[in-house]
Amino acid sequence: MTRDLSVRPGVYHDSVALMQVSRSVADEPGVNAALVAMATPLNVDLAAGMGFTAPDGAGPNDLMIAIDAADDDALARARAIVEAALAGRRAQATQAHQSDAGPQPRTLGSAVERSDATVAFVATPGPHAFVDAMDALLSDVPVVVFSDNVSVADEVRLKQAAQRRGLLVMGPDCGTAVISGVGFGFANVVRPGPVGIVAASGTGAQQLMSLLDASGAGISHCLGVGGRDMSDEVGALSTLTALDMLAADPATEVIVVVGKPPGRRAAEQVHEHAATLTTPVLFAMLGPGQPDLTAAARSAVETLGMPWQEPRSWAAPDDAAPTTPPAADVAPRYVRGLFSGGTLCDEAMAVVAAELGPVYSNIPLRPEWSLGTDLQPMSAAGVEHHVMVDFGDDALTLGRPHPMIDGSLRAHRMLAEALDPTCGVLLLDVVLGHGAHPDPAAELARVIAECRTIASRRGRELPVVVSLIGTAGDPQDLDRQAEALNGAGASVHLSNAAAAREAVRHVVAPSSGLPPTPTARPTTPPTTRPTPTYRSDG
């Protein structure tokens, strides 16, 4: 075995690009593990975890290349791949240099000035995003801040500055925005229509948009405001501005505000303001007693006087009529939800908690349901619980790409769950659209199949339920994704709430009195669409 770690001071590539390089090196036969990453504290820890000694004095501005290979030949090949990949990126950059236009802009302010841009997009690492976003505001353009790991205090400063200058800050941690049909960040390809969305939640908005698209309604714009906008600390500064913009927009006939439970004062303010607008405003704020996102989509469609059709689903191939429900004498089994979308995780937790009780999570519905830093229930709580992990949470994306781009952390956890006899069902989300992985099902289907094989070798049936968020127009091909996942043994649902209910069904013993009847399975395909290939239920 040959191991090599080198550091290149001052060489910078973004984390997503480096993840792709790491991946192509790791795929090389003879390479056991590879990490090509900026030497952030988190990546240095990762390298240490791989058994490499943390390099002295390397920092976030230095490129770190750690390769663990079977032999010298494999190591040399791995190095060559790294070189080629990095050289390719450098060549692109050099080409830009030598063009007639001269060097590329080095700051957003410069880019805005050069291009007369109407909106800025910031996807720089969190610790630097505040300065880049402020630069955009000082250049007098509204800004979409995709970056996360921006402090609340900085968020408030940005939004106050925007207010003073008559601008809008979409974010930070704005996963999704659609402005005049253009998707920023993770955004689905949605038909134009009369619904305007104010989104304090990226994946919540994506679910809503996808369902509105499928129903034929479509959207005018989706203005992301960042997950914390409706907290009392931030005071809904961006939500209020976004409501005014959509109310004044002739293309918008109904507004939906989607997000996690808001702060009390902020919610009052938003509701009061919404009541003064002539455009009707619907709220889809997840939380106890609130409608789920599918119900919110239905309300919006019905407010427009359009017919509603239940979202499609694909039953698991071997989910032969009534699945063998866990017999009473079998050890209790639990839901394990592994999500890339925070709001999808929230919504699923609300559904599961309402039916089954406490759900432990890194983004828990109640503080006492918190997971430890190892993402396991803390020892006092025991291991036998319903658990849901949001892999898109700030703490898990520091220095690494979002799980919608890189599913490796989740795949690792899935395999661990497959080995865990208390895991009764795996509930997963897959989010399609611009910015997301180009073919998430290809990778996930393999992992799903492997998980099911592992479980079955241990005498367990491991049902897998996937909530698939996407539209027919998305570049990944919604139906192909659904079929690939379905083919690997998962049941697939376009409604996240329906997926959560399906997961519940798999762990509820008949003795509990709850019949294992799913609410959304099977459904009638919408008449306007080609009939999807359904696997037979019987």
Partner 1 sequence: MSALDTLLTAEPRVAAAGADLLIDSLGAQAVPVERVEWRPPLPGTENSLATVVADPRRAEANRQALDRMLASTSELVDVRPARDALGLQPGELLHAGPPLTWDRASGPMRGALIGAMIFEGLADSPDSAEAKLAAGAGITLTPCHERGAVGPMAGVVSPSMWMFELRDEANDGTSWCSLNEGLGKVLRYGAYSDDVIERLRWMSAVLGPLLQAAVRRRGRIDIKAIVAQMVQMGDEGHNRNRAGTLMLLRELLPDLIECGAPSSQVAEVTRFVSGNDHFFLNLVMPTGKLQTAAGAGIAGSTVVTTMARNGTDFGIQVSGTGDEWFTAPADTPDGLFLGSFGPDDANPDIGDSAVCETMGIGGFAMAAAPAIVRFVGGSVPLALHTSRLMYEITLAENPAYAYPILDFRGAPTGIDVTLVARTGVLPQINTGMAGKVAGTGQVGAGLVKPPAACFTAALDALAARTPGPAADSPSPPKSVV
Which of residues 70, 87, 91, 131 is near partner 1 by CB under 8 A? Answer: 131
241 touches partner 1 by CB under 8 A: yes
Binding residues for partner 1, how many (CB under 8 A)?
80
How far, CA to CA in Å, does 282 sit from each of 125, 258, 296, 504? Answer: 34, 9, 8, 28
Residue 239 CB, shortest distance to partner 1, in Å, is 14
Looking at residues 204 to 223 of the shown chain, list those that interact with partner 1 (rule: CB under 8 A): 220-221
The stretch near partner 1 (CB under 8 A) out of 147-155, 275-283, 369-377, 485-493 is 147-155
In 3D space, the residue among 97, 48, 509 whose CA is nearest the CA of residue 323 turns out to be 509
How far, CA to CA in Å, does 64 sit from each of 55, 399, 500? Answer: 9, 13, 41
CA torsion 340-341-347-349 (nearest 10°) is 30
24 touches partner 1 by CB under 8 A: no
The stretch near partner 1 (CB under 8 A) out of 70-78, 182-190, 477-485, 510-518 is 182-190
Residue 482 CB, shortest distance to partner 1, in Å, is 22
147 touches partner 1 by CB under 8 A: yes
108 touches partner 1 by CB under 8 A: yes
The stretch near partner 1 (CB under 8 A) out of 8-16, 231-239, 321-329, 339-347 is 8-16
User: What is the C-alpha separation between 478 and 461, in angstroms, rounded?
Assistant: 27
> Could you tell me the sign of the dihedral formed by the alpha carbons of 66, 70, 72, 76, in that order?
negative
Burial of 29 (0-12, 13-18, 19+ CB in 10 A): exposed
User: Which residues touch 5 (CB under 8 Å, ≥6 apart)?
Assistant: 47, 52, 53, 55, 64, 65, 66, 67
Which of residues 102, 288, 289, 382 is near partner 1 by CB under 8 A? Answer: 102
Looking at residues 299 to 328 of the shown chain, list those that interact with partner 1 (rule: CB under 8 A): none
For partner 1, the closer CB: 18 or 375: 18
For partner 1, the closer CB: 377 or 435: 435
Single-letter amino acid code for the residue at 73: D
Which of residues 251, 398, 416, 449 is near partner 1 by CB under 8 A? Answer: 251
Burial of 53 (0-12, 13-18, 19+ CB in 10 A): exposed
In 3D space, the residue among 219, 272, 264 whose CA is nearest the CA of residue 246 turns out to be 219
87 touches partner 1 by CB under 8 A: no
264 touches partner 1 by CB under 8 A: no
120 touches partner 1 by CB under 8 A: yes
How far, CA to CA in Å, does 430 sit from each of 339, 442, 443, 482, 487? Answer: 8, 11, 11, 10, 15
Which of residues 39, 47, 122, 353 is near partner 1 by CB under 8 A? Answer: 122
163 touches partner 1 by CB under 8 A: no
For partner 1, the closer CB: 18 or 508: 18
Whose tokens are 């290149």? That residue is: 8
Cβ(371)–Cβ(385) below 8 Å: no
For partner 1, the closer CB: 144 or 508: 144
123 touches partner 1 by CB under 8 A: yes
Residue 88 CB, shortest distance to partner 1, in Å, is 12
In 3D space, the residue among 280, 283, 278 whose CA is nearest the CA of residue 295 turns out to be 283
For partner 1, the closer CB: 118 or 512: 118
User: What is the C-alpha separation between 180 and 18, in angstroms, rounded?
Assistant: 32
111 touches partner 1 by CB under 8 A: yes
The stretch near partner 1 (CB under 8 A) out of 158-166, 334-342, 494-502, 503-511 is 158-166
In 3D space, the residue among 223, 216, 227, 290 whose CA is nearest the CA of residue 255 turns out to be 223
The stretch near partner 1 (CB under 8 A) out of 96-104, 407-415, 500-508, 518-526 is 96-104
| Dihedral class, residue 477 (left if φ above 0, else alpha if ψ from -120 to 50, else beta) | left
User: What is the C-alpha separation between 58 and 45, in angstroms, rounded?
Assistant: 12
Looking at residues 404 to 463 of the shown chain, list those that interact with partner 1 (rule: CB under 8 A): 405, 434-435
6 touches partner 1 by CB under 8 A: no
For partner 1, the closer CB: 57 or 538: 57
For partner 1, the closer CB: 17 or 295: 17
Residue 378 CB, shortest distance to partner 1, in Å, is 33
Residue 158 CB, shortest distance to partner 1, in Å, is 8
For partner 1, the closer CB: 225 or 490: 225
Give the tokens for residue 117: 């841009």
In 3D space, the residue among 224, 188, 193 whose CA is nearest the CA of residue 206 turns out to be 188
Which of residues 52, 146, 314, 334 is near partner 1 by CB under 8 A? Answer: 146
188 touches partner 1 by CB under 8 A: no
Task: Name the β-bridge partners of 185.
Answer: 176
Q: DSSP for 331-392, please give it.
A: PP-EEEEEES-HHHHHHHHHHHHHHH--EEESS-SSGGGBB-TTSSB-GGG-S-SEEEEETT
Which of residues 1, 29, 106, 382 is near partner 1 by CB under 8 A? Answer: 106
Whose tokens are 């390719």? That residue is: 88
140 touches partner 1 by CB under 8 A: yes
276 touches partner 1 by CB under 8 A: no
182 touches partner 1 by CB under 8 A: yes
For partner 1, the closer CB: 91 or 182: 182
